[in-house]
């Protein structure tokens, strides 16, 4: 597969996963869905472009390590799976961890 085709395929898969996560978030209580979607919007805007990239900058100027961005993405995925199961307590716990990092 050529690089441009590969990039398009990867982008389509990523956008599909983001759409699935957004759909899963709607299964939480409304008081949890809105903050979860807000956190997803911020975290998904952080792009680790290079494998060895150490710092990632958000549009608002905040700075995170690439490792922190990956961790936040994983925590949001766990929160979304918890929402899908109807486990709002677990979802809130993982969302709170992400919000604490975003606030600093």
Give the mean model confidence (pLDDT) for residues 63-82.
93
Could you list the residue range(s) of the whole structural domain that residue 55 is in? 3-103
pLDDT(46) > 80: yes
Cβ-Cβ contacts under 8 Å for 82 (sequence gap 6 or more)? 88, 89, 90, 91, 94
pLDDT at 35: 92
Type and span of the H or E element at 64: strand 63-65
Helices 66-85, 30-45: inter-axial angle, 10-degree rounding: 150
Give the mean model confidence (pLDDT) for residues 37-65.
83
Mean pLDDT, rounded, of the chain: 81
What pTM value is reported for the model? 0.69
Domains contained in the chain, number: 1
pLDDT(89) > 60: yes
């Amino acid at each position: 597969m050529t690089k441009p085709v590969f990039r398009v395929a990867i982008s389509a898969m990523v956008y599909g996963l983001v759409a699935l996560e957004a759909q899963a978030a709607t299964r939480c209580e409304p008081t949890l869905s809105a903050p979860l979607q807000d956190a997803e919007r911020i975290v998904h805007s952080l792009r680790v472009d290079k494998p060895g990239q150490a710092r990632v900058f958000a549009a608002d100027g905040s700075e995170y390590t690439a490792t922190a961005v990956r961790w936040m993405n994983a925590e949001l995925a766990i929160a979304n799976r918890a929402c899908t199961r109807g486990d709002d307590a677990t979802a809130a716990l993982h969302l709170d961890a992400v919000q604490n990092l975003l606030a600093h």
